[in-house]
Amino acid sequence: SQQGEEDPQALSIQEGENATMNCSYKTSINNLQWYRQNSGRGLVHLILIRSNEREKHSGRLRVTLDTSKKSSSLLITASRAADTASYFCATDGAQKLVFGQGTRLTINP
Amino acid sequence: DTGVSQDPRHKITKRGQNVTFRCDPISEHNRLYWYRQTLGQGPEFLTYFQNEAQLEKSRLLSDRFSAERPKGSFSTLEIQRTEQGDSAMYLCASSPGTGGWTEAFFGQGTRLTVV
């Protein structure tokens, strides 16, 4: 079963806009990770946030974590066409790395 | 080191046949994972190894699935008596360390089609 649930399932925005996607999970965690997957390809790690961190930045990415609500958000600023992909959160709360269903992000030129 | 390598990239097989996939992790990575992914879904956990030990196997896996990681290096995933429902992308990933769950590096996957 999936540990994380992403919301929305699909998101379509114009190039240059910001994209926000959310992840909720069920059990306590040590860390939460976000991955990107281009169509038909393997997953690429984007960022890891530990349970004692509340916010983390990497380039145009900003991740927040609220352990009291068991939720995380991924913000991509100034989106580009190349950001079109599926985005997954992954948690380690079940003693293994478990992925959510993903958010399909489409950036329109 | 060129990352996690999976072979073959694509496999078409007839129902009832056995198939075997190979994964070569990044050198010195202790952990190796297998996931299955169907269209529009997230990766589903199948099993993982810590060195050569298989520490957990998903209840999703029937007895037709088996995985090995001899000598803690490459890994194989075998599916016996394939069924159409086995059609999916099979992803392998590896990560370093023996402590907490850190960044996992994924291969490009093996796409299995059972006809």
Q: Is B79 on the interface with A (CB under 8 A)?
A: no
User: What distance in Å separates the CA atoms of residue B50 and residue A36, rounded to the nearest whole number?
Assistant: 25
Cα B50 to chain centroid, rounded: 14
Q: DSSP character for B72?
A: G
Residue recorded with tokens 């009832």: B16
User: What distance in Å separates the CA atoms of residue B17 and residue B66, rounded to the nearest whole number?
Assistant: 15
Q: Is B102 on the interface with A (CB under 8 A)?
A: yes
CB contact under 8 A, B42 and A88: yes
Neighboring chain B residues of A44 at a CB cutoff of 8 Å: 106
Strands in B16-104 per DSSP E: 19-24, 31-37, 44-50, 53-57, 65-68, 75-79, 88-95
Residue A3: name the closest of B63, B79, B101, B107 by CA. Answer: B101
- Residues A82-99 as b or e (16 or more Cβ within 10 Å = b): ebbbbbbbbbbbeebbbb
Q: What is the pLDDT of residue A94?
A: 65
CA dihedral for A16, A43, A98, A64, sign (positive or negative): negative
Higher pLDDT, B71 or B100: B71
pLDDT in tens, A33-67: 999 999 888 899 999 999 999 999 999 999 999 99
Q: Name the minimum distance, in Å, from the CA of B56 to any CA of chain A.
A: 8
Pick A48's closest partner by Cβ from B33, B102, B111: B102
User: What distance in Å separates the CA atoms of residue A84 and residue A93, rounded to the nearest whole number?
Assistant: 28
Residue recorded with tokens 């392998």: B92
pLDDT in tens, B30-75: 999 999 999 989 999 999 999 999 988 888 777 899 999 998 899 9
Q: Name the minimum distance, in Å, from the CA of B34 to any CA of chain A.
A: 11
Q: Name the minimum distance, in Å, from the CA of A18 to any CA of chain B.
A: 23
Q: What is the pLDDT of residue B58?
A: 87
Residue B109: name the closest of A37, A47, A67 by CA. Answer: A37
pLDDT in tens, A76-87: 999 999 999 999
